[in-house]
């Protein structure tokens, strides 16, 4: 069974029926698997149970009507299948910690939950626990040269801009010599409140660099290594959820070093679109 097709089909159905009542029975019958199994793989692939996904998508779409189109709360609640204004407000507060009336009046902001497109990756089933597949690698300290930028991890636009920043580094370096590998290092140490540092660079053994650049060290550590396909900026939320799930289910602990993680792209990335995420663990 292709779990990704099953869950993507479930999500397609949910989105098409988002204004109506959607039950777990409907989803499990459509997927032709048990409700228990559906919940398990849905949670593993999306980070949410089917009920959580349905509720948060309904709340988000209803709130768009309230904020962007001037609907009152009761109208928006009924439009998306909530039994009453009170039920809508109670679920909204349970999820976001705010009343919808507070958000409508500009007294708070929420992170809206948009449709998920499931990212295909390998999973491991161990002792009835389903989590993303990974390997453990022991790495010596490595020196990386390149450029750095500060970004707000809660700002989607700034996260998306990192792709352009990395592309600019690749273009700059490649004008001097071929680029054999690319690293993207994320660290919070010394970056300031609500800021993180992103370092785009390449590994070098040379003492004389082609032009003046900053350097950063990847600390010696054991690393949990995950493999993904695509653009890191588009799936960072999936990767974050995968790391949290894996650490929780395996009992591994994050190794607090000078970095939080790093991405590794080899020279075949443009053909394969595959890259690795290295998480320091202990």
For residue range 82-128, what is the model confidence (pLDDT) as tens digits?
999 999 999 999 999 999 999 998 888 888 899 988 888 888 888 87
CA dihedral 160, 67, 71, 81 (to 10 degrees): 50
Question: Contact at 8 Å (CB) between 87 and 29?
Answer: no
The domain tally of the chain equals 2
In a domain, 229, yes or no: yes
- Dump pLDDT digits (tens) for 170-206: 999 988 888 889 999 999 866 666 789 999 999 876 5
- Give the domain-ending residue among 53, 88, 118: 118
Q: Which of 152-161, 190-199, 221-230 is the most confident on average?
A: 221-230
In a domain, 129, yes or no: no
Instruction: Please report, for the domain that includes residue 113, its CATH number.
Output: 1.10.10.60
Question: How many C-beta atoms lie closer than 10 Å to residue 131's C-beta?
Answer: 17
In a domain, 33, yes or no: yes
- Residue 129: predicted pLDDT: 81
Question: Contact at 8 Å (CB) between 15 and 8?
Answer: no
In a domain, 189, yes or no: yes
Closest CA to 264 of 253, 252, 256, 275: 275
In a domain, 125, yes or no: no
Identify the burial level of 180 via C-beta atoms within 10 angstroms of its C-beta, where 0-12 means exposed, 13-18 middle and 19 or more buried: exposed
Question: Contact at 8 Å (CB) between 32 and 59?
Answer: no
- Residue 184: predicted pLDDT: 97
Check whether residue 149 and residue 109 sit in a common domain. no
Check whether residue 180 and residue 251 sit in a common domain. yes
User: For residue 50, what are the domain limits?
Assistant: 3-118
In a domain, 202, yes or no: yes
Q: Using the predicted structure, report yes or no on whether residue 211 has a pLDDT greater than 70.
A: no
User: pTM score, two decimals?
Assistant: 0.77
Q: Using the predicted structure, report yes or no on whether residue 80 has a pLDDT greater than 80.
A: yes
Buried b (16+ CB within 10 A) or exposed e, 232-267: bbebbebbebbbebbbebeebeeeeeebbbbbbbee
Q: Mean pLDDT across the stretch 198-226?
A: 85
In a domain, 28, yes or no: yes
Q: Using the predicted structure, report yes or no on whether residue 270 has a pLDDT greater than 70.
A: yes
Check whether residue 183 and residue 247 sit in a common domain. yes
Max Cα-Cα span within the chain: 69
- Dump pLDDT digits (tens) for 8-58: 999 999 999 999 999 999 999 999 999 999 999 999 888 899 999 999 999
Check whether residue 275 and residue 152 sit in a common domain. yes
Check whether residue 142 and residue 254 sit in a common domain. yes
- Give the domain-ending residue among 118, 144, 177: 118
Q: Using the predicted structure, report yes or no on whether residue 208 has a pLDDT greater than 60.
A: no
- Dump pLDDT digits (tens) for 246-269: 999 899 999 999 999 999 999 999
- Residue 175: predicted pLDDT: 87
Strands 142-151 and 123-126, by their bridges, are unpaired
Confidence label for 167 from pLDDT (cuts 50, 70 and 90)? very high
Instruction: Please report, for the domain that includes residue 185, its CATH number.
Output: 3.20.80.10
First to last CA, the chain: 34
Check whether residue 163 and residue 272 sit in a common domain. yes
Indicate if the alpha-carbon torsion angle 255, 261, 266, 272 is positive or negative. positive
- Residue 88: predicted pLDDT: 97
Check whether residue 80 and residue 157 sit in a common domain. no
- Residue 135: predicted pLDDT: 97
Name residue, tokens 């002792």.
127
Check whether residue 159 and residue 267 sit in a common domain. yes
């Amino acid at each position: 069974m292709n779990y990704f097709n099953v869950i993507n089909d479930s999500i397609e159905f949910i989105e098409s029926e988002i204004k109506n009542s959607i039950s777990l029975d409907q989803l499990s019958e459509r997927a032709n698997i048990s409700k228990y199994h559906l919940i398990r793989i849905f949670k593993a692939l999306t980070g949410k149970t089917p009920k959580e996904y349905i509720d948060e998508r309904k709340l988000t779409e209803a709130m768009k009507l309230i904020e962007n189109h001037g609907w009152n709360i009761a109208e928006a609640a009924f439009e998306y299948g909530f039994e009453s204004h009170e039920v809508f407000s109670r679920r909204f507060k349970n999820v976001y910690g705010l009343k919808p009336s507070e958000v409508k009046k500009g007294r708070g902001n929420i992170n809206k939950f948009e449709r998920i497109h499931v990212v295909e990756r390998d999973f491991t089933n161990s002792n009835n626990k389903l989590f993303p597949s990974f390997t453990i690698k022991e790495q010596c300290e490595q020196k990386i040269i390149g450029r750095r930028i500060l970004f707000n991890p809660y700002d989607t636009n700034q996260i998306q801009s990192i792709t352009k920043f990395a592309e600019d580094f690749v273009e700059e370096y490649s004008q001097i010599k071929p680029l054999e590998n690319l690293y993207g290092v994320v660290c919070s140490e010394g970056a300031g409140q609500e800021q993180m540092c992103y370092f785009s660079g390449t590994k070098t053994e040379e003492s004389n660099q082609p032009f003046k650049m900053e350097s950063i060290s990847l600390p010696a550590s054991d690393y949990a290594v995950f493999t993904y396909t695509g653009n890191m900026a588009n799936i960072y939320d999936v990767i974050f959820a995968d790391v949290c799930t894996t650490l929780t289910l395996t009992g591994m602990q994050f190794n607090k070093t000078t970095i939080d993680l790093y991405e590794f792209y080899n020279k075949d990335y443009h053909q394969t679109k595959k890259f690795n995420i290295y998480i320091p663990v202990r």
